[in-house]
Structure 1
């Protein structure tokens, strides 16, 4: 199928300025962002369900892979939206952590974040900076801009925040990375997730984005469009069809992006006004293949 996807516009300003967005600052501080986005229509989105070569869609190669695994939890929106359901959410996060370990043959993984999203929501991830503890229990809008969750620097900062110095060095040496596990709460009919084969992305088309709040600066990436990019989705994705994708990879160098660009449809057959709202949960993990305890 063909759909419209949203990208960072290819403008000369980004040759001199790094893209940025400000959150939580007074209105008189100046421009809140220098990002200009464009909707690119008619992009071919390849359906993984009809692919005869699914063996090529593996995490180490393209940056994402499918994994069929029913959840032991009774997934529903209020489970993630009600702050009082923390034990149920905790059980799902633990289950998903073990799923990632099994799927990736990793001896250890650490859950560091999760996001519940619903199409049609107007909330952004930083809309509740003064209530960060409860922000995870509010439905966020799907991310319509094609992006990567972390830049290389942003991934390093995140790892240092959650790991011991020894664990950090293990991951930095190729013993792990940041992965995400994405699951729909019901069959997806609206704003499905799309992924780009990272092998088809030119490194210079993935630009680091500074996300600046009064307390910190986080770095993600936004993508410029090129016709050489190959995009994929899974039609009628159901809750048992989980997507694992690479958010950050310690391997740097060469000409392959160490992150997986992704986002949601803007319009088309499965766009915002089509079908019932999409509800999904994404779990972010540090996955480690090398880990030695202090007793070894």
Structure 2
């Protein structure tokens, strides 16, 4: 597939007056027939053409704190069928992810993997009612500009109680001791599967080109989980890049949240786009994304707690 700078389209949440009085939401559950409001969502998106710069030649010099992403060479030991087996992913691939995150600058004192998903551009489009609890379901790449699922942390009501976090794949319990550190990072660890990405490469919005006013929180309600995603409103200042010919032996680290306010890149808005050079012979994109929270204790590693 020819790479380089290309033009394509991504989807943004419209700047509607509605969102000034009603929070964006999306329901992935059936609506009671007696309910007065039968809406499953109030989201309204618009498509915008953007320029995407291929940063393949400089990707390995990009950093998480400045660019919001980092590319590493780290082949996986698993084959494609293994990624369809939840027990193998969570026992073997999670260990690889832990090792990858351990080797980045600063490392971690404590790590919690709280979600993972596989995607394929060959997956048929689905409505709102599908089983998100089945982590081996192939989801489609998302063309919507967003910052991934938020891990919702709940503080203990009484001293000594555990701190809990709710994620799309279940509830996580954190030892109270780790929460003396106010600095944490939410990482996404993204990898192509089976072959080089030809269709729907992942693109990133330069963190310095997008403001907090461009992002809005959206509630996602499923049968067993209520969480939040940040969607982006369009702004012509947004600058986009992607990695051409992204290989399965390369793992991409992205920062979804960083509580350290001193760094340039605290979160990375991203989306997938249809590459204009694809043909009928292009292979569908397959990928896996793992989400992890990283904690550092006071006075250890690169990070210091205030």
Normalization by structure 2: what TM-score? 0.80
Distance 1:124 1:246 in 2: 28
- Report the equivalent of 1:75: 79
Distance 1:20 1:50 in 2: 39
After TM superposition, list the pairs within 5 Å mapping 1:181-200 onto structure 2.
181-185=189-193, 186-200=195-209
- Report the equivalent of 1:167: 178
Distance 2:154 2:231 in 1: 18
Change beyond 3 A, Cα 1:225–1:75:
farther
SS of the residue corresponding to residue 164 of structure 2 reads helix
Change beyond 3 A, Cα 1:26–1:248:
same
- Report the equivalent of 2:168: none
Return the offset for 1:274.
Answer: 7.0
- Report the equivalent of 1:281: 288
Return the offset for 1:203.
Answer: 0.7
Q: Do the aligned residues in 1 keep the contact of 2:67 with 2:265 (CA within 8 Å)?
A: no
Normalization by structure 1: what TM-score? 0.82
- 2:209 is aligned with 1:210: no
SS of the residue corresponding to residue 209 of structure 1 reads strand
Structure 1 unaligned regions, length at least 5: none
Q: Do the aligned residues in 2 keep the contact of 1:193 with 1:264 (CA within 8 Å)?
A: yes
Residue of 131, 153, 157 corresponding to 1:156: 153
- Report the equivalent of 1:145: 144
- Report the equivalent of 2:108: 107
Return the offset for 1:205.
Answer: 0.8
- Report the equivalent of 1:119: 121
Distance 1:195 1:187 in 2: 18
Q: Do the aligned residues in 1 keep the contact of 2:199 with 2:282 (CA within 8 Å)?
A: yes
Q: Do the aligned residues in 2 keep the contact of 1:63 with 1:259 (CA within 8 Å)?
A: yes
SS of the residue corresponding to residue 284 of structure 2 reads coil
Q: Which has the higher helix share?
A: 1
Distance 1:148 1:141 in 2: 16
Distance 2:128 2:260 in 1: 29
- For residues 111-133 of structure 1, give each alpha carbon's deviation from its aligned partner in whole angstroms, at most 9, with x where no partner exists: 2221111112136697444x72x
- For residues 131-157 of structure 1, give each alpha carbon's deviation from its aligned partner in whole angstroms, at most 9, with x where no partner exists: 72xx11121111221111145xx5535
C-alpha root-mean-square deviation of aligned residues, in Å?
A: 2.8
- For residues 141-191 of structure 1, give each alpha carbon's deviation from its aligned partner in whole angstroms, at most 9, with x where no partner exists: 11221111145xx55359832322222342xx22x2110110111200011
- Report the equivalent of 2:54: 47
Q: Do the aligned residues in 1 keep the contact of 2:13 with 2:231 (CA within 8 Å)?
A: yes
- 2:242 is aligned with 1:239: no
Tell me the number of residue pairs that the alignment of Structure 1 and Structure 2 aligns.
275
- For residues 3-38 of structure 1, give each alpha carbon's deviation from its aligned partner in whole angstroms, at most 9, with x where no partner exists: 111111122222222111111122634111110011
Q: Do the aligned residues in 1 keep the contact of 2:97 with 2:189 (CA within 8 Å)?
A: yes
- Report the equivalent of 2:302: none
SS of the residue corresponding to residue 220 of structure 2 reads strand
Structure 2 unaligned regions, length at least 5: 1-5, 156-162, 166-171, 300-306
